[in-house]
Amino acid sequence: MNIVLMGCPGAGKGTQSAKLQEELKLKHISTGDVLRAEIASGSELGKKIAGIINAGNLVPDELMISMLENIVKSTDAGIIFDGFPRTVAQAEALNAMLKRFHREISAVIMINLPESEVVKRITSRRQCKKCGAIVHVDPAAPATVCPDCGGELYTRADDTAERAKHRLEVYHHDTLPVKTFYQNSGKYVEINGNQTPEKVFEDLVAVLKKVK
């Protein structure tokens, strides 16, 4: 089973992917994590990627596919693609890449969320400098210490209100056409993301139980 989990920034794709990975024994590939790891390495590629992301833009297709292919060919497990594809060109390239490994997309699930809730979630998000955990804080009295390890929490460059709105603009312009692409495949399903994480997960599992 290979799944594409879609949704605008802040929809909870990462949270739900981590739960699905444990529940269904799948390999979770988060493009955000892959890119951040490359940036953290300090490589020339990482520096180039940092510049693109900090400007609120998408990483070029051929670069993302190349990085993902290295991961796909190293596992026999089913895969959850979290945050990819984001354009029709990427969706087509992903299909072609998976075909080379005798794989195909089993289901595409869109987690829907109102834009006002998206901005609220993104701007309340912090990341731990020590363990990398994502923590949601109260904007009125934001926590500064990670509840998991005690590390310092910080706001990522792409989690400010201004950047969040720009990311939504990019998302609507480039990513929503992917919805039509997958709707035509007959494997596309939408669920309500504006509910508790537990209920969203329950809905996701219910959908995937129907996938062969």
CA distances for 127 relative to 4, 15, 79, 85, 154, angstroms: 24, 14, 25, 24, 6
What the block records as the tokens of 153 is 């929490």
CA distances for 200 relative to 51, 94, 205, 206, angstroms: 34, 26, 9, 10
Active site residues: 13, 86, 125, 156, 167
- Gap between the Cα atoms of 191 and 178, Å rounded: 16
- Continuous H helices in 8-59: 13-24, 31-40, 44-54
* Chain-centre distance for alpha carbon 99: 22
Closest CA to 109 of 185, 22, 23, 32: 185
